[in-house]
Structure 1
Amino acid sequence: MPNPTITLVQGDITEQAVDAVVNAANSSLLGGGGVDGAIHRKGGPDILAECRELRAAHYGGGLPTGQAVSTTAGRLPAHWVIHTVGPVWAKSEDRSALLASCYRESLRQARELGARTVAFPAISTGVYGWPLDDGARIAVATVREEGEGFDELRFVLFDKHSHDAFAARLPLP
């Protein structure tokens, strides 16, 4: 299978018309701030209802860091939301494998759903404190390694600084 097109967009992940949008969720799956809050607000109550069902059935203690699960996308222009919990950055401990797992497990979920196009935020680089340049390095490397078979994998970056950090890791033609 050919490798996917990897694209960068500066904008709002809740406006992406793709098969699946990845949510940088917190472990509760019940919404929060940043990307998580925006997806829950714009997607509406159907997302929260499915997240509550997941909590009740499988994730009573919350979704573990580095794993991913999917729900409907509600009112978003996508078909599904893939929720993944990124690691909090720690200077004293290398958690890079957990961050890479977020992207890898999100792609696994997307494959199981039959998604051909996926939009990712910059997982863990906001309130979880992951240094942006390193987060971009891990994200781009993991998606390149694990993204075979998709039509498009899109990084949706909220601001120019984030877009530039990802662009430095992904030279565009």
Structure 2
Amino acid sequence: MRTGGGAGAAINRAAGQQLLGALFDIPEVKPGIPCPTGEARITPGFKLPASCVIHTVGPIHFIDKNPAASLRNAYRNSLMVAKANKIEYIAFPAICCGAYGQVAKWNHLGQGLFCWLLDICWPLDELSHFITLI
């Protein structure tokens, strides 16, 4: 969450150094781990046009014992953080789809799981303007 590549690194660069500082202010649940795989945390957006950023950690497919469940939890917990913070709009980059050599199927699996979660977790009238996939 604090370091990395892909979309996360691009978001961190665009938001500026304040975001990195905010990430280091998030309490660690274990040494060096402020956000375990599948969980989500929120920070201000700083220099981004968004008021906040919800951070999540997707699975590393060759390490995680149940990567599909961890990916599902990353989406679900991000949405739960959004709802708890009364966020009206959210955009998701594809979670766990390439920066660390993840298998391409994760993109399709992640998007399918994401759609399934939306059907389960929220009524469609509440989502009419809530979700944008990027």
TM bucket normalised to smaller: 0.7 to 0.9
User: Could you tell me which residue of structure 2 aligns to residue 34 of structure 1?
Assistant: 6
User: Could you tell me which residue of structure 2 aligns to residue 155 of structure 1?
Assistant: 133
User: Could you tell me which residue of structure 1 aligns to residue 56 of structure 2?
Assistant: 84
Structure 1 CA distance, aligned partners of 2:70 and 2:130? 23
TM-score by length of 2: 0.83
Matched position secondary structure for 2:2: coil
Q: Is the 8 A contact 1:103 1:143 kept in 2?
A: no
Tell me the percent identity: 31
Q: CA offset at residue 133 of structure 1?
A: 2.1
TM-score by length of 1: 0.66
Q: Deviations over 1:27-83 (max 9, x none)?
A: xx32321111100000111211111110xx344431110000000111111111000
Alignment RMSD (CA, Å): 2.0
- 1:85-124 maps to which residues of 2 (within 5 A)? 85-90=57-62, 93-124=65-96
- 2:120 maps to 1:145: yes
Structure 2 CA distance, aligned partners of 1:112 and 1:137? 24
Moved more, 58-67 or 143-152: 143-152
Q: CA offset at residue 92 of structure 1?
A: 9.2
Higher strand share: 1
Ranges in structure 1 where 5+ consecutive residues have no aligned partner:
1-28, 157-173
Structure 2 CA distance, aligned partners of 1:81 and 1:31? 15
In the alignment of these two chains, the number of paired residues is 126
Matched position secondary structure for 1:69: strand
Matched position secondary structure for 1:49: helix
Ranges in structure 2 where 5+ consecutive residues have no aligned partner:
none
Structure 2 CA distance, aligned partners of 1:94 and 1:30? 23
Structure 2 CA distance, aligned partners of 1:81 and 1:147? 21
